[in-house]
Amino acid sequence: MKKTLLLLIFFGSIAYHAQAQFTVSGDFRFRSELRDGSRVLLDSTKNASVVSSQRTRLITNYKFDRFEIRVAFQNARIWGQDRERANVPNLNMAEGWLRYKLNEDTTKGFFVKVGRQHLVLDDGRIFGMRNWNDIAVSHDLALLEYENKGWNIIGGGAYNNDANKYFESAYEVNYYKYLGLVWVNKQINEKWQASLLNSVEGHEDEDNYKVLYPRATSGVYLKKDKGDLPLSLQASFYYQYGKNPVGVKQNAYMYSIVPTYHISKKWKTTFGVNYLSGNDQTKASDKNEAFNKLFGDGHRYYGYMDYFLNIEDNSKGGGMRELFAGLFYNFTEKTQLELSYHNFGLAGTLVNPDNGNKVEGQLGHEIDLQLKHSLGKAVTLVIDYSTMFATEEMEYLKGGDHTRYQQWANVMLIAKPQFFKSK
């Protein structure tokens, strides 16, 4: 903490004397959840739990001439997790990057961005922040960016190690060994934009670190803003190939189609389909056909009860098909209500090894209700209630008893104050 304060004083002093722009802000989030069937199905032998957690971030941002530097520290904890009086360190760096503009014209051209950063591309289906998770997702990356005349291009990657090594050895972190990506986005006109994404991550063989398995993901994203017409659209398609982290040939795909109809200034409705391919275990195959959404967001897309945060694992490789519809109402500029319905099913076919029966078809129906209310300029209150009506097939994935009533409730307070801004 002493180093953090010294860093703030240092940047603040530079900003004061050099007419640079320096800001210090916070990101505080507290939530308390009733988990009575969240992520897993409960049965009559298990009682609901109430879990409270919080995330506290201190964010510094410094801009001067062609430089921009951001440093963000965070603490994430479950209330009561630490032993009484235990000095348990829990402070990590969420962001720590430098962005430098290579051109004298600082509004366009080439930029270099290096360091720990959140990487959010398009709608976050493949590269998102996973912000529901208190830690979120950060990457240590070196990127080259280009912005000009509606074009936004990012290329770069990372090569990871788990220690300060002088010779190669096994990478003992459950993460990619290397990552490379190219993302090209074009703002076609005021309403339409399109993106092309190509990425590849390499994972070490568990038994031989000299063997790396590359998994590539390629796809397109299309977005149409409302404009003068009441219909907006987001759609994407991605294909995954190469080898998965255990060396099996990868051959999978996903698509998402999400139209939104703006009924009036207060009402809008959205509906659509998310499909992530899965394996058919009734047929012999040397391929993995379960799509992995990599670092994509889960909570905001696949139901608030989080049965499918990590779809390949949560579906045991069976994939997922989701039909959904949502209705949104703005009471005022400060208060919004959402009512959503999700229908989940397997994209592939699984076989239960205990009885040899096929597991396929419907998994369940989820209903989400959310109320958001702004308490002030930087404070938001979020209240959720969700219920899952699962089928017997869901028991194979999540255990428990599908006939038991499953529910989840959440109260969350979000505050993002700005503590200091240089003049």
- Residue-wise pLDDT tens digits, 27-86: 999 999 999 999 999 999 999 999 999 999 999 999 998 999 999 999 999 988 876 556
Per the document, the length of the chain is 423
* Long-range interactions of 140-144: CB distance < 8 A, separation 24+: 140/115, 140/116, 141/113, 141/114, 141/115, 141/116, 141/117, 141/179, 142/112, 142/113, 142/114, 143/112, 143/113, 143/114, 144/110, 144/111, 144/112
Has residue 227 got a pLDDT over 90? no
Maximal CA-CA distance, the chain: 74
Res. 87 pLDDT band, cuts 50 70 90: low
What pLDDT was estimated at residue 103?
Answer: 86
What pLDDT was estimated at residue 192?
Answer: 95
Has residue 17 got a pLDDT over 80? no
Has residue 11 got a pLDDT over 70? no
Has residue 343 got a pLDDT over 90? yes
> Which two three-digit tokens encode residue 225?
């803003």
Question: In the chain, what percentage of residues exceed pLDDT 90?
Answer: 85
How far apart are alpha carbons 261 and 307 in whole angstroms? 27
Has residue 10 got a pLDDT over 80? no
For residue 382, the Cα-to-chain-centroid distance in whole angstroms is 19
Return the minimum-mean-pLDDT range out of 3-12, 241-250, 299-308: 3-12
Element holding 344 (H helix, E strand): strand 335-345
What pLDDT was estimated at residue 16?
Answer: 54
Res. 89 pLDDT band, cuts 50 70 90: low
For residue 69, CA distances in Å to 16, 22, 189, 357 come to 16, 10, 31, 57
What pLDDT was estimated at residue 341?
Answer: 98
Res. 312 pLDDT band, cuts 50 70 90: very high
Q: What average pLDDT score do residues 202-228 get?
A: 95
In CATH, the number for domain 24-80+90-165+176-421 is: 2.40.160.100
> Which two three-digit tokens encode residue 7?
């860093």
* Long-range interactions of 192-197: CB distance < 8 A, separation 24+: 192/222, 192/223, 192/224, 192/225, 193/222, 193/223, 194/220, 194/221, 194/222, 194/223, 195/121, 195/122, 195/220, 195/221, 195/222, 196/220, 196/221, 197/121, 197/122, 197/126, 197/127, 197/221, 197/238
Has residue 15 got a pLDDT over 60? no
Q: What average pLDDT score do residues 162-169 get?
A: 94
Does residue 86 sit in helix, strand or coil? coil
Residue with tokens 């009682």: 47
Domain boundaries, the chain: 24-80+90-165+176-421
Res. 226 pLDDT band, cuts 50 70 90: confident
What pLDDT was estimated at residue 229?
Answer: 85
> Which two three-digit tokens encode residue 309?
């945060």
List, for residues 118-146, the tens digit of each pLDDT value. 999 999 999 999 999 998 999 999 999 99
- Convert 172-187 to b/e letters by CB count within 10 Å (16 or more is b): eeeebbbbbbbbebee
Average pLDDT score over the chain: 93
Has residue 405 got a pLDDT over 80? yes
What pLDDT was estimated at residue 336?
Answer: 97
Partners of 280 in beta bridges = 349
List, for residues 253-284, the tens digit of each pLDDT value. 999 999 999 999 999 999 999 999 999 999 98
Residue type, 106: T
Partners of 212 in beta bridges = 204
What pLDDT was estimated at residue 107?
Answer: 76
SS3 content of the chain, % helix, strand, coil (to 5): 5, 55, 40
Has residue 183 got a pLDDT over 90? yes
Q: What is the DSSP letter of 339?
A: E
Has residue 340 got a pLDDT over 70? yes
What pLDDT was estimated at residue 90?
Answer: 76
